[in-house]
Every structure is written in C-alpha cells, then in structure tokens.
Amino acid sequence: MATLYIYPKQGDSYSVVLKDAPIGLGRASDNEIPIPDPFCSSHHAQIVPSDGGFVVKDNGSKNGTFVNGKKILSPATLKIGDEILVGSVRILFDRPLRTNVELTDGPAPPTNLNTIIPMREILAKPTSRATATASAPLTDADQMRIENRMFSVLSEVSQALVLHKPIAELLEHVMDVISAHLSMDRGVLMLKEGNPVQLIPKVVRVNAKPLRNQKIQVSRSIVAMAFDQQLSVLTSDAAVDPRFKARESIIDSGIHSVMCVPLWNNKEIIGVIYADRISFLQAFTEEDLRLLTLLSNLAAVKIENSRLIEQSIEMEKMERELELAARIQKDFLPKSDPAFARFGVSGKNVPCLQVGGDYYDYIPIDGGRIGLAVADVSGKGVSASLLMASLRAALQSEVRPHYELPAMAAKLNEFVHRSSAINSFITFFFAELNTATGELAYVNAGHNAPLILGCDGGVRTLPSTGLCLGMLPEMTFEEGRETLAPGEIMILYTDGLSESRNAANEEYGADRLAEVCRKNPETSAREMMDAIFRDLEAFTNRAPAADDRTLVIVRRTS
C-alpha cells in the first residue's frame, strides 16, 4: 500500500500507511491524521482511494490545499513523489525526503562577522567591492580575473538553461549547474508556496557522503535576510557566529561557511538558494557570493519563464477543453426550430463565456402537445453548464404523455437541491402548449415572467408559481393556465437579455423587448427574434455581455 510521509514545520517527521478507506487531515482530533497547525482547518482535506490509486480533495479549507505548489480546485490524483502542503505541513506521497531541511530560530547576526551585500547592488555592479565589511582594494589583475570568471560561468550557465524543461526537472538542473561552478558540501533551493506563503525546500544537494543522512538545519534569520530584505549573505565561519550558539547540533556539524542569496526574477523574490561548507577548509569568498547571486538571478528568470510556458500550455489545453465543452453544450440545445401548423417557434442562446448556464428546449409530449422550457442556472461558466446539462437530462426523463406538471417540477427541485451546492439554484419555466387550441399549462419556478403580447397591444405575464429549483427541499408548485389566441406572441427570455445595460447604465428591460415585437407584427418568429438581437446590439453598442442571453419566441398565426 502507499505511504504518506509527514513533515511538520516543527518536531519529528512520521509516516502513515494508506488503506482502502478515506483518510482525513485537519486540526480536529477526529481526523485519521490530526495536524495541530494553526494554518490548518479543522477538517482540511481528505485522501481517498480512487481507481487503484489515491486522490487528495480539499474540504473547502480556509487556506487551501496545495499539490506540487499549485492550489487544487478539484480532486487531484496523486503520483509517487507528489508533495501536498496542508497549512505549514509538508506531506510526501509514497516517497520520503532524501534529506530533511529544517529552518531553525536563532538570534539576529551581527554584521561585523558577515559579508552582507544588497542583491540589486551585485546585479548592477557584479565585481564591485561595496560590502558591509571593509576589504582590501582589488588589483587590476584580480579585477580582470574575476570578471573573466564571472563572464565565462554566466555564459556557460545561460546556455545550459536555454532549453525549456518542466519545473521539477528545471529545479534539479539549476542546482546541478550551480554545484558544478561553486564547490559546496550542501545546497538547498527553496521556493515560496502555499497560504500563508512559506519557503519550501524543492531541491537538496548533498555532495559530501558523510552528510547525506543528516538533517540540514538552516538559520531562519539568514533566510529572512535573503528573502525579506533582498540581501546576499555570507557567513565566513558559522561555527563562531553567535546566531548558531543556541543550536548545538549546528555547531557539532562543524559548519565552516554559509551563503544564502535571493532568487529574484526581475519582478519579485520567488525563493532563496542556501549553500554551506563543512568539509572544505577554505570558506566561501565574497567572489563566490557574487557569483551565486548572479547565478540565482539567471535561475529565477528561467524558473519564471518555465512557469509561464507551463501556464500557457495549461491555458491552451483548457481552451481546447472549453471549446469541446461548448460544442457539446450546443448539441444539448435544439438544432432547429419545430415546425407545425398555426404556430411559429424560434429560439437562440448566446453564452457570455464559452459555456454557460442558460437552457432552452422543445420537448415533444404527444401528437398534439409540445413542452417549451427556459432555464437559467445561477452563476456562469463551466460549473453552471454542468448543472444545466444535469437539469436537461432530468427534465427529458420526466416529461412523457401522462406526467403532471406540479409533480414534475417538485421532482426537479429535489434533484437540483440534492445535486448542487447550497448556493446554487435554477430559475425555470416550462409550458405545455396544445398546438390545436393554443392552451398553455405551465409552472414558473422563480423565472422571469414570460410575456404574452395581445393583438390589441396589451401585455399579459405568466408569473411565478413556486420558488427557484434547488433553493429549498420539499417544495410544491402550482400549475398556471393561459391561452395563446390567434395573432398573439409569447416571449420567453432570461435576465441576461432583459438586464443588459447601455453606456448610460440603463437596462434593456421587458418593455423594450415587447416594443420590438409590436414593431414587427407580421414577421415570422425567427425574423422577430433576429430583430430583437439586432436591437439589443444597438442598445448596448455591442458591449460584451455580462451574462448569458436566451430568447424564445412563440407566435400563433392569425
């Protein structure tokens, strides 16, 4: 079975073997894995068996759950080596850390024992000698040697990092090229992740074999100087530095020299690189510090570019998936207008995004009756479109020759309430039209009241007969009755159309909708619908829609 390896911010690590049952993670004691972390919610997340593997699900936690540095918005399938961040606790899936890194507290360092240089100063003047400590002037030969070395190394590293690699592979590569040009016993690359933001060790290099099983204890104060103050820090002899005297384990490990520099991508600090020497008798030099700072800047820019490329790839993939979803959703809507004597019917849906939550349909009931549906799911985008598709399937299964309108609406209400989030609901109108007599039987679940435009120019409405679907359980609905007389027009619409606004912030409104129909009394239902959309575009000056727009025109011939 798979194993979780858990690394708290403070204290010892431990492991938990996963079984064929959900595992809860959170601050509450009833979780299978209690996590006493102030940034962790009571029931923060779950790890659940799925298709022979496991997925991690966030339970709506306050600070979110992160997998490999990305906040998950839906269940994420876990792969070996994946890193889960819950609060400030790191959890590795089925692969332990080779070397654990721990940030340790200690007193702030006195500057007279260290070389401390503002990062921007190094990047602006790579070989200058403006430091926090006094130093001897450089000779011209020394200056030339340093400049040649800097130029040679930076050129080589730039070429080594030119090809795109996935982030995880790139981070390993960055530490490889840095280790190749700076002799170190140990190195750690940390990136900021999570909520709250924290520095997470992403790559650890231990070049000295005797040190490979030791925990790496990194001074929090040195890291803070690099990350928060944007300073490049060099401690020439850490064993005598007061910041470490409270940590006997660090002194016992014999740290001889430490460097810590920011990872700056020319916009923000995204992490730090830490390096130390234990077995080397020679300490790091200021030249090493400057070189590591320059290499870190190159690496940070490359990391940012790689992230942008991966985001672009993800966006393209999402765009293709949305295009596919839009085609599928379009197939859910009527492909043509129904044709029968004495009536003209035409409908149109225009989503404001690629997919939307508006829905209309024509459902044959028997030879003399047809069902006309219009609905509007709360919200927009993918989630609304999925709920709309579910409603369509449920409606299609309920409408048949001997159904009852109020009972059908009550079943749909229970389905939506059971199947959607607590803040989701659907406004819904369904009318059964007798194509011989023009009689209408309908339910209106909180939808915009359809308009019936009489031959005398007056307007009647079909008001609500119950609350929106999914708002409350066990709702009842009344059945309304009306008749569409010869020459009359029924207009079904969603609020995305009637609430469209112009530059003066005026709503299009139901009155203007009726007026356009009055101006086109002898046109077909299709022509009347096209005239309304043309008028809407003129009214809004073709401004982007803020909501999905749906319109159905039902016209009984004279």
Measured at the CA of 190, the angle between CA 258 and CA 244, to 5 degrees, comes to 35
Report, as an integer, the average pLDDT of 111-129.
70
- Per-residue model confidence as pLDDT tens digits over 68-117: 888 998 899 999 999 999 998 999 999 988 778 888 875 444 433 468 88
Residue written as token pair 């000779």: 139
CATH number of 3-93: 2.60.200.20
Of 415, 353, 340, 344, residue with least CA distance to 384? 353
Whether the per-residue pLDDT at 245 is higher than 90: the answer is: no
Report, as an integer, the average pLDDT of 432-441.
95
Top-ranked range on mean pLDDT: pick from 255-259, 340-344, 485-489: 485-489
User: What's the rounded Cα separation, in Å, for the pair 316 and 324?
Assistant: 12
User: What's the rounded Cα separation, in Å, for the pair 169 and 180?
Assistant: 17
What's CA 544's distance to the chain center, in Å? 24
- Per-residue model confidence as pLDDT tens digits over 418-431: 988 888 899 999 99
Q: What is the mean pLDDT of the chain?
A: 86
Residue type, 211: L
Task: Say if residue 131 is exposed, middle or buried (CB neighbours under 10 Å; 0-12, 13-18, 19+).
Answer: buried
Top-ranked range on mean pLDDT: pick from 211-225, 265-279, 328-342: 265-279
Cβ count near 240 (within 10 Å): 11
Whether the per-residue pLDDT at 532 is higher than 90: the answer is: yes
Say what the pLDDT of residue 558 is: 80
Which residue ranges make up each domain of the chain?
Answer: 3-93, 101-308, 333-556
pTM: 0.62
Q: Give the pLDDT band (50/70/90) at residue 247.
A: very low
Torsion of CA 115, 117, 123, 129, to 10 degrees: -60
Say what the pLDDT of residue 460 is: 95
- Distances in whole angstroms, Cα of residue 38 to Cα of each of 26, 61, 64, 87, 132: 10, 12, 13, 7, 38
Do 237 and 257 form a contact (C-beta atoms < 8 A)? yes
- Residue 7's H or E segment, with its range, is strand 3-7
Of 39, 45, 42, residue with least CA distance to 57? 45
- Residue 188's H or E segment, with its range, is strand 186-193
Say what the pLDDT of residue 174 is: 87
More confident: 347 or 103: 347
- Per-residue model confidence as pLDDT tens digits over 177-193: 888 888 889 999 999 99
Rg (CA), the chain: 34
Do 389 and 420 form a contact (C-beta atoms < 8 A)? no
Say what the pLDDT of residue 107 is: 44
Say what the pLDDT of residue 472 is: 93
Pick the CATH number of 101-308 from 3.30.360.10, 3.30.450.40, 1.10.3720.10, 3.40.50.620: 3.30.450.40
User: What's the rounded Cα separation, in Å, for the pair 281 and 185?
Assistant: 11
Picking from 156-160, 262-266, 400-404, 507-511, which range would have the lowest pLDDT averaged per residue? Answer: 156-160
Report, as an integer, the average pLDDT of 466-486.
95
Whether the per-residue pLDDT at 159 is higher than 80: the answer is: no
CATH number of 333-556: 3.60.40.10
What stretches of 9-88 adopt beta strand conformation (E)?
14-17, 23-26, 33-34, 45-50, 53-58, 65-67, 70-71, 76-77, 83-86
More confident: 16 or 139: 16
Report, as an integer, the average pLDDT of 198-214.
86
Report the percent of the chain where pLDDT is more than 70: 89
